[in-house]
Amino acid sequence: TQKTVDGPSMKDWRGGRAASLNIIPSSTGAAKAVGKVLPALNGKLTGMSFRVPTVDVSVVDLTVRPEKAAIYDEIKKAIKEESEGKLKGILGYTEDDVVSTDFVGDNRSSIFDAKADL
């Protein structure tokens, strides 16, 4: 819950700032939740969220440090294959030039934006 105008927050000073005008860093339980669903990842993930003035949709900036060297094209290929296979309808994959409103109404849990790499 976030106030839409500046107002005091005893719990979180940043969270008391105007939601319609700011990008506000915040905590998230998502990384811990992943560890509960995928025990092999328990304790290996951290995360934070950003509260942004958008109607719907959120973003995850996932940074991965693989044990073995990996080429980004290979990672994209593996994610695309999974999005078309056993994770179809859950994980999406796109190489389109998308923005957040392109995902409003999308029922999938996550969409991998292949062009949003560094």
pLDDT at 8: 67
pLDDT at 1: 55
- Going from the first residue of the chain to its last (118 residues), give the mean pLDDT of each consecutive group of 10, the final group possibly shorter: 63 72 78 82 82 81 84 94 95 95 93 91
pLDDT at 67: 86
The length of the chain is 118
Break the chain into its structural domains and give their ranges.
1-53, 60-118
